[in-house]
A = this chain, B = another copy of it.
Amino acid sequence: MNQSKDSIPTFTQIRMAAKRIAPFAHRTPVMQSYWYNQITGAALFFKCENFQKVGAFKFRGACNAILSALPEQAERGIVTHSSGNHAQAVALASRMSGYKATIVMPRNAPKVKTDAVRGYGADIIFCEPTIEARQHAADEIIRKSGALFIHPYNDPAVIAGQGTAAMELLEEVPDLDLIVAPVGGGGLISGTLIAAKSMSPAIRVIGAEPELADDAYRSIHAGTIQPVLRTDTIADGLRTSLGELTFSVMQTYLDDLLTVSEEAIVNHMRTVWERMKIIIEPSCAVPVAAVAEKMGKIAGKKIGIIITGGNVDLDHLPWSK
């Protein structure tokens, strides 16, 4: 079944995405933390997409988009732009499908991510770390080769793929009161909103983003998409502005949006490493910090948190000088 490139995916499309990617993606574990339960008084359920293929939930969306593409177009090559995890996801999903991938990446992308993209056999074209520069470089490749562009978030097939994480989480813990997910371009939170509100109509879904990249917060309050003004938050996966599709989903369904400081992000990233013994990247610490520090009465609540990825440059940890 084909799908318009500018329509919001339905829950049926998320269920189809889940079937499509099942042979390739991991069904990731849901973990709990005695320590976080103690300090919040709530019961937290961490959906661990750091254990996903390529170390991030992004594999779900990229895999679904490539598997749903028309082969005659995908054979001309796959192209995308990404600050990191979507790049790896497109690279691996392309290789698995036998297509050639070219990835446009910002010059300041972590080395661990550029190495991984090359490891999956994709070519990299570097550009300035702005959304305009990325899109321009991708457009050039498409113009020359006719390659298929997989947007990192503003694509219904990508959103549907990302929604499968929340779907699995709710299959495992059906009575969640709340799900919190980070907001970058909005692909994950959009898929999460569609899946969660379809499966559990009373559930609340809350987005979390860095104070330094609070474009979604400003966009929701302004009623129009506002750009990211700075690209220096440590949460390198959340340095992007919303797309029209993702903004539309958020306007319709999102219950709340919280912002957290850089200090809180680093603090909770380190705390998760120390207490839960799992490697999470800074972007994952954003919803954790929001739950631990920015929510009011959550004692007794069952709260799902999407842990988005674990790709960190171990030579440059945020707490080391």
Q: A106 on the interface (CB 8 Å rule)? A: no
- The answer on a CB contact under 8 Å between B279 and A112 is no
**How far apart are the CA atoms of A273 and B29 in the complex, in Å?**
17
Q: A144 on the interface (CB 8 Å rule)? A: no
Q: A77 on the interface (CB 8 Å rule)? A: no
Classify chain A: how many residues form its interface, as a range: 10 to 19
- The answer on a CB contact under 8 Å between B274 and A277 is no
**How far apart are the CA atoms of A310 and B273 in the complex, in Å?**
9
Q: Quickly give the copy total for this chain.
A: 2
Among the listed B50, B274, B278, B280, which residue makes an inter-chain contact with A314, where contact means beta carbons less than 8 Å apart? Answer: B274
Q: A270 on the interface (CB 8 Å rule)? A: yes
* Consensus secondary structure, chain A interface: loop
Contacts of A270 in B (CB 8 A): 314
- The answer on a CB contact under 8 Å between A315 and B320 is yes
- The answer on a CB contact under 8 Å between B319 and A315 is yes
> Which chain B residue has the least Cβ–Cβ distance from A277?
B310
**How far apart are the CA atoms of A112 and B319 in the complex, in Å?**
15
Contacts of A279 in B (CB 8 A): 273, 277-279
CB neighbors of B among A244-299 (8 A):
270, 273-274, 277-280
Q: A317 on the interface (CB 8 Å rule)? A: yes
**How far apart are the CA atoms of A29 and B32 in the complex, in Å?**
13
CB neighbors of B among A292-319 (8 A):
310, 314-315, 317, 319
Q: A55 on the interface (CB 8 Å rule)? A: yes
Q: A217 on the interface (CB 8 Å rule)? A: no
Given contacts A29-B29, A270-B314, contact A277 B50 (CB under 8 A): yes
What 1/0 flags go to A145-177 for Cβ under 8 Å of B? 000000000000000000000000000000000
Contacts of A55 in B (CB 8 A): 277
**How far apart are the CA atoms of A112 and B271 in the complex, in Å?**
12
Q: A51 on the interface (CB 8 Å rule)? A: yes
> Which chain B residue has the least Cβ–Cβ distance from A316?
B320
**How far apart are the CA atoms of A50 and B275 in the complex, in Å?**
10
Nearest CB of chain B from residue A155's CB, rounded to whole Å:
26
